[in-house]
């Protein structure tokens, strides 16, 4: 998602870490946005207004990325020069991949059955998995073993994607 070379931690005045204080993040974001936002430059010349749009956009991006645990994790890896794009990913845990495929098949069945309760239960399981993988990721980051951290990050990507798919399936059931 981040195709630029910005260090969003620096931009938002936070220490680059896995866990951040979201209240501080929000406060810093609002303070900076108050200074940079295009609303402050409505009467300025075209160049200044364009700069405001660009700076404000970058700030909005940074806030969104740091607020999301998954994107924050990715950003931490990118700051270490690790390429997080999918096609360069290392071999993932085979057992993990099979489990993911099975869960997706299960989800399809749940959708066909219209089983909302089953989906709620599955979502809980996925959230538990995310918590434990996140813990493993943190350990790797603190030990500065970034390739191992990258492996955990890709697992997180899978899990969050599954989380979204369960969400979408629940939406489908609600709309019918």
Partner 1 sequence: MALFTIAEPGQSTLITTPRRKRAAGIDLGTTNSLVAVANAGKAETIAGSDGSSLLPSIVHYRADDNIQVGVLSVPDESILATTSISSVKRLLGRGRKDIAYQLPYQLVDAPLGGMSCIKTAAGTVSPVQVSAEILKQLGLRAVTALGGELDGVVITVPAYFDEPQRQATRDAARLAGLNVLRLLSEPTAAAVAYGLDKRLQGTVIIYDLGGGTFDVSLMKLHNGVFEVLATGGDSALGGDDFDRAIAQWLVQQEQLKNIPVAGDYQKLLLQARSIKHGLSEKNETLACYGDWQGILDRKTYYQLVDPLIEATLKSCRRVLRDADIQIAEIAEVVMVGGATRCPRVREKVTAFFQKELLCSIDPDKVVALGAALQADVLVGNKYGEEMLLLDVIPLSLGVETMGGLMEKIIPRNTTIPASRAQEFTTFKDGQTVMTLHVLQGERELCSDCRSLAKFELTGIPSMVAGAARIRVTFQVDADGLLEVKAQEIVTGVNSAIVVKPAFGLQENEIETMLMTAYTNAAADKALRSLREKQVEADRHIEALEAALKADGDNLLDSAERIRLQQSINTLRQAAAGNDAGQIEQLTLGLNTLSVEFANRRMDMQIKTALAGHTMEELDHYIPKGVND
**Does residue 81 come out as left (phi exceeding 0), alpha (psi in the -120 to 50 range) or beta?**
left
Q: From residue 64 to residue 103, what is the string marking binding to partner 1 with x (rule CB under 8 A)? A: x---------------------------------------
Centroid of chain to Cα 155: 12
By C-alpha distance, which of 78, 73, 66, 67 is closest to 136?
73
The tally of CA atoms less than 13 A away on the side-chain side of residue 15 is: 5
> Could you tell me the smallest distance in angstroms from the CB atom of residue 66 to partner 1?
13
Whether residue 84 contacts residue 157, with contact meaning beta carbons closer than 8 Å, is answered with no
Task: Extract the tokens encoding 45.
Answer: 């010349």
DSSP state of 43: T
Chain residues 151-170 in contact with partner 1, contact rule CB under 8 A: 167
Q: How far is CA 41 from each of CA 12, 24, 51, rounded to the nearest angstrom?
A: 21, 26, 10
Please list every residue from 25 through 44 that binds partner 1, using CB under 8 A.
30, 33-34, 37-39, 42-43
Minimum gap (Å) between residue 74 Cβ and partner 1: 16
Of 54, 109, 113, 145, the one binding partner 1 (CB under 8 A) is: 54
Residue 2 is a binding residue for partner 1 (CB under 8 A): no
Specify the residue, 54 or 145, whose C-beta has the smaller distance to partner 1: 54
129 makes contact with partner 1 (CB under 8 A) = no
Instruction: State the residues that interact with partner 1 by CB under 8 A.
Output: 3-4, 30, 33-34, 37-39, 42-43, 52-54, 56-58, 60-61, 63-64, 167, 171, 174-175
């Amino acid at each position: 998602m981040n195709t630029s070379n910005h260090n969003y931690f620096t931009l938002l005045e936070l220490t680059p870490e896995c866990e951040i204080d979201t209240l501080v993040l929000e406060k810093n974001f609002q303070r900076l946005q108050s200074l940079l936002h295009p609303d402050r430059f409505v009467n300025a010349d075209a160049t200044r207004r364009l700069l405001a749009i660009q700076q404000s956009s970058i700030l909005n991006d940074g806030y969104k990325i740091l607020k999301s645990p998954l994107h924050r994790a990715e950003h931490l890896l990118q700051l270490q020069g690790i390429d997080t794009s999918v096609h360069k990913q290392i071999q993932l845990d085979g057992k993990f991949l099979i489990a993911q495929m099975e869960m997706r098949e299960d989800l399809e069945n749940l959708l066909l059955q219209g089983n909302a309760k089953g989906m709620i239960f599955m979502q809980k399981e996925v959230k538990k998995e995310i918590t434990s993988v996140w813990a493993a990721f943190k350990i790797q980051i603190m030990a500065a073993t970034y390739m191992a951290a990258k492996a955990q990050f890709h697992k997180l990507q899978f899990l969050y994607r599954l989380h979204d798919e369960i969400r979408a399936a629940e939406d489908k059931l609600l709309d019918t």
